[in-house]
Chain A
């Protein structure tokens, strides 16, 4: 897989895009063979996949195409809720679509009505950033199933926030966290493991402060609250070129499928956050053909969107800044251009306001624009006045 992608990209801008394109479109198969859609969690184990799914042409298209990776990944859960209720018309549409799809084996519904989605959304927990004010403008923290882009000038705390999220996602469920694991894709080499240890210790000390009676809890709970345990649950990928980055994101879906223990409690063993620090670094250099870069990046972003939705995890992309000439003056904007700016669900911009660090929610489908101060302390990202205030661990 990786080799294929490397080849496809390193063939040069003109040749490579040709190849990528052909792989995408050449197989004259009905679309359902090309698209991997979520299949029911329960049925995935006991029901064999349809024969057509394994047909040779489909198989080769998948295994060779940079777009259709991970043919062997166990499929994520199918959402059936849509069928459970709904208005007559809605139900009619749903039922009909199931019938149309011929027992619906390989084509589960992705459709859901808004009411069911609302109740699902309300039961979701968010990943705390460590700073209550920052959580406030984000609606409780980083949301799962969404792609959040965080950008800012060097040194403002992007990587710190990234590491903090990788630690905070692991706060056990009994302490109000998600108890998930983290995938950290490092392209810049700025992931300092000593610092991660420090932030993990800071996180644990805050948990113990917040839940003073937790010491009497079961020993397994205490065992979880070790910095070593936190470090062990971060999957770290070091990426040294954009080809590797593309390959890593293509591989991610397979990886997530393998690292998902369906039978155990869903919260204890799942990757719940993917952090890419930074998505920009390799794409800012070595790319002559900007149109090709746009195409590659927009495909990557769709893939990340898909992963976020299918595996119910948060994707956090760290981005650098660039200057842009608009209306007669140079202004700081996030890198990678106008097209890329559409490819995230939420966008947070970190900036300096005097000597204080601020976060500005620039884009969100559900929340108003707002800004809030935060601080980077020895323990990690905290409220500015965290000496006096208790950090909310929710």
Chain B
């Protein structure tokens, strides 16, 4: 796999020749790295506008706290409001097209009416459903059940994004969602086995590379595990901690429909004047001096 990936990358000189100055970066950020609103007002305010293109956002929380709902909501909103293509990688068979349709339709009354059968949903292509259809066709879902499949899908995605860049001057894919990345990583991580961690970091690097080069916003979900004393913490350990640009924790009171989101980590200074993450600037400035 390593070999294959290296072949697709440009030569070393090609990569090193590409340096940026601060103004280039600022231009790139203002032109290409937009915030994609999730449609959840509170969360958008918290995140300074939404899920940022070029960044990796992690949503974590206990079971049934609303992580998948967050993903479905973001997918629907990005597809509906930006007409962007959303790639949804599903590991737990929880991608619910019915729920997506309900969110896009914006009629909460339909929520839960799956109970009364298919007919009542009434999505039989009435005029307004043409819109629904075009939006929903922009959400592409793929089931992924192991880490190898994930690497393969990401590789294919990268190739198709590169082709799009060459031929059409950019892809319409805006958002990549992996729900949940931790269920793929859980079987290989833990104990004293470094290989699993290496695979995790390799996936993380691919995701961040895709995000940066193709202006994707990447959204992944993570589990919570016990931290002792009845407390919980995000899974995947310390080395994963450094990966996401933004970490959100979602919690829900049992039996309540209100979810609460808390920011654990955010690389962008909140309400900052400059609209780029300061850390990037430093990183690239360092390269330039060489």
Task: Say yes or no: B193 contacts A112, CB within 8 Å.
Answer: no
Task: Say yes or no: A343 contacts B98, CB within 8 Å.
Answer: no
B234 to chain A, nearest CB (A): 11
CB of A382 within 8 Å of the partner chain: no
Instruction: List residues 323-345 of chain A with CB under 8 A from any CB of chain B.
Output: 324-327, 337-339, 341-345
Task: Say yes or no: B72 contacts A122, CB within 8 Å.
Answer: no
Chain A 356-384 interface 0/1 with B at a Cβ cutoff of 8 Å (1 = within): 00000011011111100000000000000
Instruction: List residues 33-90 of chain B with CB under 8 A from any CB of chain A.
Output: 62-64, 68-69, 72, 85, 88
Residues on B with C-beta less than 8 A from A115 are 97, 132-133, 136-137
Task: Say yes or no: B148 contacts A35, CB within 8 Å.
Answer: yes
Task: Say yes or no: A308 contacts B93, CB within 8 Å.
Answer: yes
Task: Say yes or no: B93 contacts A145, CB within 8 Å.
Answer: yes
CA distance A369 to B258 in the complex (A): 12
CA distance A296 to B145 in the complex (A): 14
A30-B4, A302-B146, A363-B63 in contact; A339/B191 too (CB < 8 A)?
no
Number of A-B residue pairs having CB atoms within 8 Å of each other in the complex = 223
**What is the size, in residues, of chain A's interface with B at 8 Å between Cβ atoms?**
85
Give the top 6 A-B pairs by smallest Cβ distance, nearest first: A363-B64, A366-B96, A341-B63, A298-B186, A299-B187, A118-B97
Q: Which of the residues B96, B187, B199 comes within 8 Å of A365, measured between beta carbons?
A: B96
Residue numbers of A with Cβ under 8 A of B are: 17-18, 21, 24-25, 30-32, 34-35, 37, 67, 82, 85-87, 89-90, 92-94, 96-97, 100-101, 107, 109-118, 120-123, 135-140, 145-147, 291-292, 294-296, 298-299, 301-303, 305-306, 308-309, 324-327, 337-339, 341-345, 347, 362-363, 365-370, 394
Task: Say yes or no: B94 contacts A365, CB within 8 Å.
Answer: yes
CB of B164 within 8 Å of the partner chain: yes
CB of B171 within 8 Å of the partner chain: yes
Task: Say yes or no: B140 contacts A21, CB within 8 Å.
Answer: no
Task: Say yes or no: B164 contacts A87, CB within 8 Å.
Answer: no
A35-B149, A365-B95, A368-B257 in contact; A295/B63 too (CB < 8 A)?
no
What are 8 contact pairs spanning A and B, CB under 8 A? A100-B160, A114-B97, A118-B123, A291-B190, A302-B183, A308-B93, A345-B93, A347-B63
Other A-B contacts than A139-B114, A295-B190, 17 sampled, CB-CB below 8 A, are A25-B195, A67-B146, A67-B187, A96-B163, A101-B156, A113-B138, A115-B133, A117-B141, A118-B97, A140-B115, A291-B191, A295-B191, A305-B91, A342-B92, A345-B94, A365-B95, A367-B114
Task: Say yes or no: B141 contacts A114, CB within 8 Å.
Answer: yes
Task: Say yes or no: B224 contacts A338, CB within 8 Å.
Answer: yes
Task: Say yes or no: A302 contacts B145, CB within 8 Å.
Answer: yes
Task: Say yes or no: A342 contacts B114, CB within 8 Å.
Answer: no
CA distance A56 to B185 in the complex (A): 28
Residues on A with C-beta less than 8 A from B139 are 113-114
Task: Say yes or no: B85 contacts A89, CB within 8 Å.
Answer: yes
CA distance A37 to B182 in the complex (A): 21
CA distance A292 to B114 in the complex (A): 39
Task: Say yes or no: A100 contacts B156, CB within 8 Å.
Answer: yes
CA distance A78 to B160 in the complex (A): 21
CA distance A306 to B196 in the complex (A): 21
CB of B159 within 8 Å of the partner chain: yes
Task: Say yes or no: B142 contacts A111, CB within 8 Å.
Answer: yes
Residues on A with C-beta less than 8 A from B240 are none
B277 to chain A, nearest CB (A): 28
Residues on A with C-beta less than 8 A from B148 are 31, 34-35
B103 to chain A, nearest CB (A): 11
Residues on B with C-beta less than 8 A from A121 are 96-98
Instruction: List residues 125-151 of chain B with CB under 8 A from any CB of chain A.
Output: 132-134, 136-146, 148-149, 151
